[in-house]
Each structure stands twice: as C-alpha cells, then as structure tokens.
C-alpha cells in the first residue's frame, strides 16, 4: 500500500532567508520576489519578457504559458531545471548541500 502525502501544510523553507511557507507554490512565489529585489517592483518573465506588477501573476503566467523546455537554469547535480537562479540556489541548498 502506498501512502500519498500532500505537499500542503508542510513547511517549505527558503534556504536563502530561512522563511517558511505552507505550500511549494508560495515558496516559489517568494523565490521570484528574491529574484527581483531592488528592481522597482516589477517582475519580468525570463522567457518572453512580459512584465507583471505582482510576483504571483508572473508565477501564474509561467505555469500557463511556458513549459519545462523553457527553463534556463540547470542543476549540475540532478536533472531538474528552473526559471530563476534563486530557485536553483534554493534547490541546491535544500537538496544537495552536505
């Protein structure tokens, strides 16, 4: 019998600032905000360069408009790919640090 665990309700930690979130989507949105810190409050899609004023709107756009093949940051230690360098950094610190 396999046991399926929902990702909701678990602590998803940003390894860049140690803030925790109750879903992976909220963590990803937070990592997008890290990517654009100090850039005047706008969020530009790394694929098509459409600009958004909210990180969650950019996140929704990426999920609906772009696929796996559009991700530009490759993990050197596993097959995962990411849209933002901060996502890759967080992944590396979470999954591959000793």
Query: Is the domain covering 43-96 a CATH 1.25.40 domain?
Result: no
Distance, CA of 28 to CA of 8 (rounded, Å) = 14
Cβ-based neighbour number of residue 55 at 10 Å: 19
Per-residue pLDDT reduced to its tens digit, 75-93: 999 999 999 999 999 999 9
Per-residue pLDDT reduced to its tens digit, 15-74: 999 999 999 999 999 999 999 988 888 999 999 999 999 999 999 999 999 999 999 999
């Amino acid at each position: 019998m396999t046991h399926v665990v929902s990702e909701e309700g678990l602590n998803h930690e940003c390894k860049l600032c140690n803030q925790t979130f109750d879903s992976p989507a909220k963590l990803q949105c937070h990592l997008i905000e890290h990517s654009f810190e100090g850039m005047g409050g706008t969020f530009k899609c790394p694929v098509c360069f459409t600009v958004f004023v909210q990180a969650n709107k950019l996140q929704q756009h990426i999920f609906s408009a772009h696929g796996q093949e559009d991700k530009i940051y490759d993990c050197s230690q596993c097959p995962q790919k990411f849209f933002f360098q901060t996502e890759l950094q967080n992944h590396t610190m979470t999954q591959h640090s000793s």
